[in-house]
Amino acid sequence: MTKNKKWIGTVILLLVLLCGWMAWSKWASTTRIGLVNFQNFQTTSLIKSNEDQFIKYEEVSLEELGRLDRYDFVLGFGMGLRMTAGQREQLQKAADKGTPVYIYAATNPENNICNLDSITKADITSYIGNGNKKNYRNMARYVRQHIDAKRLFVTPAEEAVESASDVLYHLDEDLSFKTVADYEKYLREQGIYREKAPKIAIVGGLNDPFSGNRANIDSLIVSLQNAGMNVYPVSSYRQRLTFLREIGPDAV
Protein backbone atom coordinates (compact mmCIF):
# COMPACT_ATOMS: atom_id res chain seq x y z
CA MET A 1 0.00 0.00 0.00
CA THR A 2 2.82 2.38 0.87
CA LYS A 3 4.55 1.71 -2.43
CA ASN A 4 1.27 2.34 -4.29
CA LYS A 5 0.82 5.66 -2.46
CA LYS A 6 4.34 6.72 -3.35
CA TRP A 7 3.79 5.72 -6.97
CA ILE A 8 0.50 7.60 -7.12
CA GLY A 9 2.11 10.62 -5.46
CA THR A 10 4.94 10.56 -7.98
CA VAL A 11 2.50 10.38 -10.89
CA ILE A 12 0.46 13.27 -9.49
CA LEU A 13 3.61 15.35 -9.00
CA LEU A 14 4.73 14.63 -12.56
CA LEU A 15 1.30 15.59 -13.89
CA VAL A 16 1.34 18.82 -11.90
CA LEU A 17 4.82 19.66 -13.22
CA LEU A 18 3.77 18.80 -16.78
CA CYS A 19 0.64 20.94 -16.55
CA GLY A 20 2.67 23.76 -15.03
CA TRP A 21 5.25 23.56 -17.81
CA MET A 22 2.49 23.53 -20.47
CA ALA A 23 0.74 26.51 -18.87
CA TRP A 24 4.02 28.43 -18.66
CA SER A 25 4.84 27.68 -22.29
CA LYS A 26 1.39 28.71 -23.50
CA TRP A 27 0.74 31.78 -21.38
CA ALA A 28 3.99 33.16 -19.98
CA SER A 29 7.18 32.00 -21.70
CA THR A 30 9.45 34.36 -23.61
CA THR A 31 8.24 35.48 -27.03
CA ARG A 32 10.96 34.80 -29.60
CA ILE A 33 10.96 36.86 -32.79
CA GLY A 34 13.17 35.74 -35.66
CA LEU A 35 14.53 38.41 -38.02
CA VAL A 36 15.39 37.45 -41.59
CA ASN A 37 17.45 39.63 -43.96
CA PHE A 38 17.46 42.79 -41.87
CA GLN A 39 20.51 45.04 -42.15
CA ASN A 40 22.63 45.38 -39.01
CA PHE A 41 21.45 48.92 -38.29
CA GLN A 42 17.81 47.78 -38.59
CA THR A 43 18.34 44.83 -36.27
CA THR A 44 20.13 47.04 -33.75
CA SER A 45 17.26 49.55 -33.80
CA LEU A 46 14.69 46.82 -33.13
CA ILE A 47 16.71 45.24 -30.32
CA LYS A 48 17.59 48.54 -28.61
CA SER A 49 13.97 49.69 -28.76
CA ASN A 50 12.74 46.60 -26.92
CA GLU A 51 12.24 47.15 -23.18
CA ASP A 52 10.36 43.94 -22.39
CA GLN A 53 12.23 41.16 -20.60
CA PHE A 54 9.93 38.47 -22.01
CA ILE A 55 10.49 39.42 -25.65
CA LYS A 56 13.67 38.46 -27.49
CA TYR A 57 14.86 39.10 -31.05
CA GLU A 58 17.20 36.73 -32.87
CA GLU A 59 18.78 37.08 -36.28
CA VAL A 60 18.06 34.15 -38.60
CA SER A 61 20.39 33.48 -41.51
CA LEU A 62 19.07 32.04 -44.78
CA GLU A 63 20.91 28.81 -43.93
CA GLU A 64 18.75 28.45 -40.79
CA LEU A 65 15.31 28.68 -42.41
CA GLY A 66 14.71 25.00 -41.76
CA ARG A 67 14.47 25.70 -38.02
CA LEU A 68 11.85 28.44 -37.89
CA ASP A 69 9.47 26.43 -35.69
CA ARG A 70 11.49 27.59 -32.66
CA TYR A 71 10.14 31.14 -33.13
CA ASP A 72 6.79 32.61 -32.17
CA PHE A 73 6.94 35.06 -35.08
CA VAL A 74 9.24 35.36 -38.08
CA LEU A 75 9.62 38.82 -39.61
CA GLY A 76 11.58 39.23 -42.81
CA PHE A 77 12.77 42.28 -44.75
CA GLY A 78 11.91 41.71 -48.40
CA MET A 79 14.14 44.31 -50.03
CA GLY A 80 17.24 42.62 -51.37
CA LEU A 81 16.11 39.21 -50.08
CA ARG A 82 17.75 36.60 -52.29
CA MET A 83 16.68 33.08 -51.47
CA THR A 84 17.20 29.88 -53.34
CA ALA A 85 14.15 27.86 -54.31
CA GLY A 86 14.96 25.47 -51.47
CA GLN A 87 15.19 28.25 -48.89
CA ARG A 88 11.93 29.74 -50.08
CA GLU A 89 10.32 26.33 -49.76
CA GLN A 90 11.57 26.06 -46.17
CA LEU A 91 10.10 29.45 -45.33
CA GLN A 92 6.76 28.60 -46.92
CA LYS A 93 6.73 25.22 -45.17
CA ALA A 94 7.15 26.90 -41.78
CA ALA A 95 4.25 29.23 -42.59
CA ASP A 96 2.09 26.32 -43.74
CA LYS A 97 2.78 24.47 -40.49
CA GLY A 98 1.57 27.43 -38.43
CA THR A 99 4.60 29.54 -37.57
CA PRO A 100 3.48 33.17 -38.04
CA VAL A 101 5.53 34.57 -40.95
CA TYR A 102 5.55 37.96 -42.66
CA ILE A 103 8.03 39.12 -45.28
CA TYR A 104 7.69 42.90 -45.20
CA ALA A 105 8.32 45.01 -48.33
CA ALA A 106 8.95 42.04 -50.61
CA THR A 107 10.22 43.34 -53.96
CA ASN A 108 10.19 39.85 -55.48
CA PRO A 109 6.60 38.48 -55.74
CA GLU A 110 7.93 34.99 -55.03
CA ASN A 111 9.09 36.21 -51.61
CA ASN A 112 5.71 37.72 -50.71
CA ILE A 113 5.08 35.15 -47.99
CA CYS A 114 2.64 35.96 -45.19
CA ASN A 115 0.15 33.90 -43.19
CA LEU A 116 -1.12 36.71 -40.94
CA ASP A 117 -4.72 37.83 -41.23
CA SER A 118 -5.29 41.14 -43.01
CA ILE A 119 -5.77 43.18 -39.81
CA THR A 120 -2.65 41.81 -38.12
CA LYS A 121 -0.61 42.29 -41.28
CA ALA A 122 -1.78 45.91 -41.56
CA ASP A 123 -0.88 46.57 -37.91
CA ILE A 124 2.64 45.13 -38.23
CA THR A 125 3.10 47.04 -41.49
CA SER A 126 2.11 50.27 -39.75
CA TYR A 127 4.57 49.70 -36.90
CA ILE A 128 7.56 48.84 -39.04
CA GLY A 129 6.67 51.22 -41.87
CA ASN A 130 6.72 54.14 -39.43
CA GLY A 131 9.97 52.89 -37.98
CA ASN A 132 10.73 54.88 -34.88
CA LYS A 133 11.73 53.75 -31.41
CA LYS A 134 8.22 53.95 -29.98
CA ASN A 135 6.70 51.99 -32.86
CA TYR A 136 9.39 49.31 -32.72
CA ARG A 137 8.84 48.93 -28.97
CA ASN A 138 5.09 48.62 -29.42
CA MET A 139 5.44 46.22 -32.36
CA ALA A 140 7.28 43.78 -30.09
CA ARG A 141 4.52 44.12 -27.49
CA TYR A 142 1.88 43.66 -30.19
CA VAL A 143 3.55 40.43 -31.32
CA ARG A 144 3.55 39.05 -27.77
CA GLN A 145 -0.02 40.14 -27.09
CA HIS A 146 -1.79 39.36 -30.36
CA ILE A 147 0.36 36.97 -32.40
CA ASP A 148 2.01 34.87 -29.68
CA ALA A 149 -1.15 35.35 -27.56
CA LYS A 150 0.59 35.35 -24.19
CA ARG A 151 -1.49 36.24 -21.12
CA LEU A 152 1.16 36.89 -18.48
CA PHE A 153 3.97 39.46 -18.43
CA VAL A 154 2.25 41.35 -21.24
CA THR A 155 2.49 45.11 -21.72
CA PRO A 156 -0.42 46.22 -23.93
CA ALA A 157 0.74 47.66 -27.23
CA GLU A 158 -0.16 51.20 -28.20
CA GLU A 159 -1.20 52.03 -31.74
CA ALA A 160 1.47 53.00 -34.26
CA VAL A 161 2.24 56.70 -34.59
CA GLU A 162 3.43 58.40 -37.76
CA SER A 163 7.18 58.91 -37.83
CA ALA A 164 8.51 62.41 -38.38
CA SER A 165 9.76 63.13 -41.90
CA ASP A 166 11.18 66.16 -43.70
CA VAL A 167 12.36 67.72 -40.46
CA LEU A 168 15.39 68.94 -38.56
CA TYR A 169 16.21 67.23 -35.29
CA HIS A 170 18.58 67.40 -32.32
CA LEU A 171 19.61 65.24 -29.34
CA ASP A 172 16.08 64.86 -27.95
CA GLU A 173 14.65 62.06 -30.10
CA ASP A 174 11.08 63.11 -29.20
CA LEU A 175 11.52 66.51 -30.85
CA SER A 176 11.56 67.48 -34.53
CA PHE A 177 11.29 70.80 -36.36
CA LYS A 178 9.53 71.53 -39.62
CA THR A 179 11.34 74.83 -40.22
CA VAL A 180 14.87 76.13 -39.79
CA ALA A 181 13.49 79.09 -37.84
CA ASP A 182 11.83 76.79 -35.29
CA TYR A 183 15.01 74.76 -34.97
CA GLU A 184 17.20 77.82 -34.38
CA LYS A 185 14.68 79.12 -31.84
CA TYR A 186 15.05 75.84 -29.95
CA LEU A 187 18.86 76.07 -30.02
CA ARG A 188 18.71 79.60 -28.63
CA GLU A 189 16.32 78.53 -25.87
CA GLN A 190 18.73 75.76 -24.94
CA GLY A 191 21.67 78.17 -24.92
CA ILE A 192 23.37 76.19 -27.69
CA TYR A 193 23.19 78.58 -30.65
CA ARG A 194 26.35 80.61 -31.33
CA GLU A 195 25.99 83.84 -33.29
CA LYS A 196 28.17 83.98 -36.44
CA ALA A 197 29.54 80.51 -35.79
CA PRO A 198 30.08 78.14 -38.76
CA LYS A 199 26.99 76.20 -39.79
CA ILE A 200 27.35 72.46 -40.36
CA ALA A 201 24.50 70.51 -41.94
CA ILE A 202 24.23 66.75 -41.37
CA VAL A 203 22.21 65.06 -44.10
CA GLY A 204 21.01 61.64 -42.99
CA GLY A 205 21.52 58.48 -44.99
CA LEU A 206 20.24 55.07 -43.95
CA ASN A 207 20.46 55.79 -40.24
CA ASP A 208 17.01 56.96 -39.12
CA PRO A 209 17.46 59.37 -36.17
CA PHE A 210 14.11 58.30 -34.71
CA SER A 211 14.74 54.55 -34.81
CA GLY A 212 16.40 54.28 -31.40
CA ASN A 213 19.81 53.49 -32.88
CA ARG A 214 21.49 56.89 -33.10
CA ALA A 215 24.51 56.92 -30.79
CA ASN A 216 26.76 57.71 -33.76
CA ILE A 217 24.60 60.68 -34.78
CA ASP A 218 24.41 62.06 -31.25
CA SER A 219 28.19 61.74 -30.88
CA LEU A 220 28.71 63.68 -34.10
CA ILE A 221 26.28 66.44 -33.08
CA VAL A 222 27.90 66.86 -29.66
CA SER A 223 31.43 66.79 -31.09
CA LEU A 224 30.68 69.51 -33.64
CA GLN A 225 28.88 71.65 -31.06
CA ASN A 226 31.80 71.32 -28.66
CA ALA A 227 34.05 72.53 -31.49
CA GLY A 228 32.05 75.78 -31.56
CA MET A 229 29.78 75.11 -34.54
CA ASN A 230 26.02 75.35 -35.08
CA VAL A 231 24.83 71.93 -36.19
CA TYR A 232 21.80 71.34 -38.43
CA PRO A 233 20.87 67.63 -38.65
CA VAL A 234 18.36 67.05 -41.45
CA SER A 235 16.13 64.00 -41.87
CA SER A 236 14.45 64.45 -45.23
CA TYR A 237 14.10 62.99 -48.70
CA ARG A 238 11.89 65.58 -50.40
CA GLN A 239 13.01 68.78 -48.70
CA ARG A 240 16.79 68.35 -48.42
CA LEU A 241 17.71 71.05 -50.92
CA THR A 242 15.07 73.40 -49.53
CA PHE A 243 16.50 72.99 -46.03
CA LEU A 244 20.09 73.41 -47.25
CA ARG A 245 19.25 76.59 -49.15
CA GLU A 246 17.57 78.05 -46.06
CA ILE A 247 20.37 77.01 -43.69
CA GLY A 248 23.17 78.25 -45.95
CA PRO A 249 25.72 75.88 -44.35
CA ASP A 250 29.47 76.33 -44.45
CA ALA A 251 29.79 72.56 -44.86
CA VAL A 252 27.53 69.55 -45.39
Given a cut of 80, is residue 8 above it in pLDDT? no
Q: Among candidates 139, 148, 184, 13, which has minimal Cα distance to 70?
A: 148
Q: How many CB atoms lie within 10 A of CB 7?
A: 10
How does DSSP classify residue 102?
Answer: E
Does the pTM surpass 0.85? The reply is no
pLDDT over 60 (residue 1): no
What Rg value do the Cα atoms of the chain yield, rounded? 24
Taking only the tens place, the pLDDT of each residue in 123-138 is 999 999 888 899 999 9
Using one digit for the tens of pLDDT, what is the confidence trace for 86-113? 999 999 999 999 999 999 999 999 999 9
> Does residue 116 surpass a pLDDT of 90?
yes
For residue 32, give the nearest of 13, 20, 49, 47 by alpha carbon.
Answer: 47
Task: Give residue 209's pLDDT.
Answer: 84
Per-residue pLDDT tens over the stretch 20-44: 666 666 788 999 999 999 998 889 9
